[in-house]
C-alpha cells in the first residue's frame, strides 16, 4: 500500500465561509468523478471510497476564503487508478465557487508513526445523529477501531487478526462538537489525536488512515489526518 498526496491549487470564483469550505472542496472533486461512467459508478457506489481530502488552505483569520485568491486542497488516497485520473483531469474542473489550476503529487513515506491527528473533524454517526449521549467513550473508540480494520480488510481482501492494541491514548482537541455544512444540515464531528501503538498492525492501520481517513464520511473530507513520526 502507498499513500498518495495530491495538492490541487484552486482559484476562488466566489468567497466561501469556513463552515462551507469542505463541502465546496468536495464539489470540484465530485464533478471530476462524474465526468466518466466508470468513475461516476464508483462515486455513486456504497463502498469505501479510499480517498479523503482537507479544506481550503491557507486559513483566513476572519473565516472567509476570498474571491479572487488562490488556495490549495490536499487529497489523499491509496488508489493508484484514482491518482492517475485526478492528475489528468482535476486541474481542468470548475464549479460555481472554485476553478482548478494545477495538481502536484507525492507519496507519503511509510515509517513508524507516533500519533495521527485531525485536520478535518472525525465523524461517527448513530441512528440519532452525533455520537455523544448515544455511545459511551468505549463504544466510540470501538467504532473507530472497527472502521479502520474494515477499510484495511476491504483494501487487501483479507481478515485481519483483531487481537492487538491500536492506540494507547485518545485526546479530544475540541471543547464542543464541530459543525460543518453537509447536504443542507450541520454534520457534527470531533478533532482527535490518536497515539498509535508500535505493533505492525497498528502501524499499518495508521498509515492507511492517512490515505483513507478516520471515522466515516471520508469521501466528503471528514477524518483527514496528519501525523507525527517517532
CATH number belonging to domain 3-108: 3.30.70.1890
Angle between helices 37-44 and 18-33 (to 10 degrees): 140
- Of 15, 110, 128, 10, the C-alpha closest to 63 is 15
* Measured distance CA(145)–CA(59) in Å, rounded: 31
According to CATH, the topology of domain 113-229 is Alpha-Beta Plaits (3.30.70)
Quickly state the pLDDT bin for 92 (edges 50, 70, 90).
very high
Task: Say if residue 180's pLDDT is above 90.
Answer: no
Task: Say if residue 38's pLDDT is above 90.
Answer: no
CATH 3.30.70.1900 intervals, the chain: 113-229
Start-end of H helices in the chain: 18-33, 37-44, 80-89, 137-156, 200-212
Task: Collect all residues with Cβ–Cβ distance below 8 Å to 11 and sequence separation of at least 6.
Answer: 68, 69, 70, 98, 99, 101
Task: Say if residue 6's pLDDT is above 90.
Answer: yes
Q: Full-prediction pTM beyond 0.85?
A: yes
pLDDT at 51: 94
DSSP 31: H
CATH 3.30.70.1890 intervals, the chain: 3-108
Quickly state the pLDDT bin for 43 (edges 50, 70, 90).
low
Amino acid at each position: 500500500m502507498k499513500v498518495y498526496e495530491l495538492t490541487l491549487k484552486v482559484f476562488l470564483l466566489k468567497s466561501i465561509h469556513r463552515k462551507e469550505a469542505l463541502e465546496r472542496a468536495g464539489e470540484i472533486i465530485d464533478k471530476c468523478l462524474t465526468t466518466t461512467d466508470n468513475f461516476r459508478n464508483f462515486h455513486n457506489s456504497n463502498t469505501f471510497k479510499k480517498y479523503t481530502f482537507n479544506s481550503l488552505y491557507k486559513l483566513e483569520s476572519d473565516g472567509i476564503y476570498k474571491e479572487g485568491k488562490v488556495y490549495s486542497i490536499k487529497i489523499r488516497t491509496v488508489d493508484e487508478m484514482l491518482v492517475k485520473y485526478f492528475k489528468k483531469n482535476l486541474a481542468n474542473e470548475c464549479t460555481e465557487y472554485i476553478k482548478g489550476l494545477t495538481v502536484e503529487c507525492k507519496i507519503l513515506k511509510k515509517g513508524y508513526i507516533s500519533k495521527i491527528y485531525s485536520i478535518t473533524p472525525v465523524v461517527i454517526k448513530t441512528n440519532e445523529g452525533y455520537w455523544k449521549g448515544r455511545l459511551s467513550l468505549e463504544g466510540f473508540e470501538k467504532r473507530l477501531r472497527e472502521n479502520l480494520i474494515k477499510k484495511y480488510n476491504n483494501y487487501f481482501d483479507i481478515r485481519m487478526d483483531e487481537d492487538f492494541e491500536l492506540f494507547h491514548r485518545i485526546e479530544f482537541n475540541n471543547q464542543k462538537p464541530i459543525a460543518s455544512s453537509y447536504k443542507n444540515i450541520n454534520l457534527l464531528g470531533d478533532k482527535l489525536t490518536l497515539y498509535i501503538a508500535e505493533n505492525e498492525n497498528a502501524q499499518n492501520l495508521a498509515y492507511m488512515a492517512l490515505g483513507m481517513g478516520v471515522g466515516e464520511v471520508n469521501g466528503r473530507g471528514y477524518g483527514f489526518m496528519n501525523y507525527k513520526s517517532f
